Amino acid sequence: MRALRKGTYRAVPGEFYGTPKEVWGFRSPPRKAAPESIAREFLGANTKLLGTDASLEGLRHAKTIESLAAHHVIFQQVHHGMRVHRAYVTTHLDRRGRVYMTKNRSVPAVLLPSESAFRVSLDAVIARARKALPRPARRAVTQDVERLWFPSRARLEPAWKVRLIRTVPREEWIVYINARTGGLLSRFDNLAAASGRARVFDPSPVTALAGHDTLLTPGGEPRRPPAAAYRRVRLAGLDGNGRLEGERVTTRPTAARQRVRRADHVFLLDADDRGFEEVMAYHHIDAAIRYLERLGYRGQRAIFRRAIDVDVNGTPLDNSWYSPWERRLTFGTGAIDDAEDGETILHELGHAIQDAICPDFGQSAQAAAMGEGFGDYFAASFFESRKPDAYRTSVMTWDGLLIGIEEGLDPPCLRRIDHAWTYLDFNENDGEHANGEIWSATLWDIHETVGRAIADRLIIESHFQLDGFTTFARGARAILDADVNLNGGRHATALRRIFRRRRIGPI
């Protein structure tokens, strides 16, 4: 394979190293070989451009992911036997073996230090990591430590990665400590949070009744939904032990005293009954994963390789989350139980989808907003056909009913996905949920333009070339690449029109 010639590709320059962090806008000649072999050949031909060691010995093959229309070969950079944090090279090639993009976060060989200097003991590192957390998170339990290299601007520092978990309130901190000086390099809370034969709400009693007036007492408090608010459904894939456990989802992490067991597997429960939230979580998550499989993400291309763990009453707070460390969904019971709303359940599943494709997604302000926006979009798209027209673009109408009434939203809901906002409205001070409504509205524009099945497949496929620190512009470009790989670029003009209107890249 020949090296890329100047002028035949586009590149996004790196910030510190003088090498491009992304190279795209080209297609190499078709090749019939294993994806890893093609990727290594491409990288070997372009070491001068990428700044990698000519031998490629510092790039360890991490994994190859197969999506519907492409292969994504990921190499992790290692130095002196330790991985370099965030330093990877990913090569993306279509089904004909044509490389069309490479992402390069590796540190150039000329900048790698000759030796490591771990001068701070592990005990001192853990103590320093705890001290770096806000109070009272310092009481968190140490779950994992790792020696690695941490890029600090143009310098590599020997470091310890420490993962600390606190139960109430739920927090998962990842802290990086300089192993040479003991100084703090970085910290962040890695939790993806948000404000979760049977009977279920599908997705909520508000949408089933096409309104909320009968669901509130004269004092404005939620009341027991009437029978018309429920829908009977079939629970598929159960293990057969009488519990809500199956091949795609299990509620096993839920406290034993809160769980239900039915030997006949008939769970005809009301919202006030113990176990109703279990039924809701099992049914809606199982149905959503089956939908992903119908889109083509099954077998070797499956997004989830094991059953998703769900704790349906895991916190008394009005809050729910997906834990990347535990790979678990947890739903709160504050105000209206979160797992009583199908859209809240699928919003959190959206975080799990992103983490399964792109581990630790959401480590920058834009990526975090994209995470929240995708969760809202996925829930709205999935339940679109089961909601009255007035509720198509409103999400979490039961879980967010009281908040929506307080904020004067019509109809009341937690968030909407049809705002006219553009990237010019993005403000880090507003937080990821507010900024996420820019991204969810952009995705909904795609949905309305090309239809649900095409839009969902494009949007999910695009995640395979993103990373945890991605941006709106790169997300837009990934959707365009997905359209080329899946549809021969049939929707490129319409997609670019949407991104221009929303003032989003792509770059």
154: phi then psi, degrees, rounded to nearest 5 = -95, 15
Question: On the CB side of 24, how many CA atoms lie within 13 Å of its CA?
Answer: 18
Residues 360, 371 contacting (CB under 8 angstroms)? no
For the chain, the residue count is 507
CATH of 10-110, one of 3.40.630, 1.10.1740, 3.30.310, 1.10.3470: 3.30.310
| Secondary structure (DSSP) of 347-365 | HHHHHHHHHHHSTT---SH
| Class of domain 194-501 as given by CATH | mainly alpha
pLDDT at 51: 93
Q: What residue ranges of the chain are covered by domains with CATH 1.10.390? A: 194-501
215: pLDDT strictly greater than 90: yes
pLDDT at 357: 96
228: pLDDT strictly greater than 90: yes
Question: Which residue, chain included where needed, has tokens 């395979």?
Answer: 464
Q: What residue ranges of the chain are covered by domains with CATH 3.10.450? A: 122-189
pLDDT at 123: 92
pLDDT greater at residue 385 or residue 142:
385
Please state the rounded mean pLDDT for residues 165-188: 87
Closest CA to 438 of 456, 421, 415: 421
Q: Burial-class residue 11 by CB neighbours within 10 Å (0-12, 13-18, 19+).
A: middle
Per DSSP bridges, beta strands 249-250 and 308-315 are parallel
47: phi then psi, degrees, rounded to nearest 5 = -65, -35
Q: Is 488 left (phi over 0), alpha (psi -120 to 50) or beta?
A: left
> How far is Cα 334 from Cα 399, in angstroms, rounded to an integer?
10
Q: What residue ranges of the chain are covered by domains with CATH 3.30.310? A: 10-110
Please state the rounded mean pLDDT for residues 112-135: 88
Helix or strand or coil: residue 323? strand
pLDDT greater at residue 289 or residue 219:
289
pLDDT at 391: 97
CA distances from 449 to 88, 142, 452, 453, 498 (A): 35, 48, 9, 11, 9
pLDDT at 190: 79
pLDDT at 464: 97
CATH of 122-189, one of 1.10.3720, 3.40.50, 3.10.450, 2.60.120: 3.10.450
Residues 492, 476 contacting (CB under 8 angstroms)? no
> How far is Cα 367 from Cα 445, in angstroms, rounded to an integer?
19
Please state the rounded mean pLDDT for residues 156-177: 88
| Three state DSSP letters for 26-50 | CCCCCCCCCHHHHHHHHHHHCHHHH
CB atoms near residue 490 (< 10 Å): 13
| Structural tokens at position 110 | 């000329």
143: pLDDT strictly greater than 50: yes
| Three state DSSP letters for 141-207 | EEEEEEEEEEEECCEEEEEEEEEEEECCCCEEEEEEEECCCCCEEEEEECCEEECCCEEECCCCHHH
CA distances from 228 to 96, 193, 200, 383 (A): 52, 31, 11, 18
pLDDT at 194: 47
Buried b (16+ CB within 10 A) or exposed e, 452-477: eebbbbbbbbbbbbbbbbbbbbbbbb
Please state the rounded mean pLDDT for residues 119-142: 87
Q: Is 490 left (phi over 0), alpha (psi -120 to 50) or beta?
A: alpha
Please state the rounded mean pLDDT for residues 275-303: 96
Residues 157, 124 contacting (CB under 8 angstroms)? no
pLDDT at 167: 76
How much of the chain exceeds pLDDT 70, in percent? 98
436: pLDDT strictly greater than 50: yes
Closest CA to 445 of 386, 507, 388, 504: 504
What letter represents residue 215's amino acid? L
pLDDT at 1: 86
Q: How confident is the model at residue 507 (pLDDT cuts 50, 70, 90)?
A: low
pLDDT at 188: 83
pLDDT at 433: 96
What is the pTM (predicted TM-score) of this model? 0.85
CA distances from 11 to 20, 23, 49, 137, 442 (A): 6, 4, 10, 41, 25
Per DSSP bridges, beta strands 70-79 and 59-66 are antiparallel
pLDDT greater at residue 75 or residue 140:
75
Helix or strand or coil: residue 343? helix
117: pLDDT strictly greater than 50: yes
Helix or strand or coil: residue 223? coil
How much of the chain exceeds pLDDT 90, in percent? 85
Question: Which neighbouring-strand residues pair with 310?
Answer: 329
Please state the rounded mean pLDDT for residues 321-345: 95
Please state the rounded mean pLDDT for residues 172-176: 92
The per-residue pLDDT of the chain, averaged, comes to 93
pLDDT greater at residue 338 or residue 53:
338
pLDDT at 335: 87
> How far is Cα 19 from Cα 7, in angstroms, rounded to an integer?
16
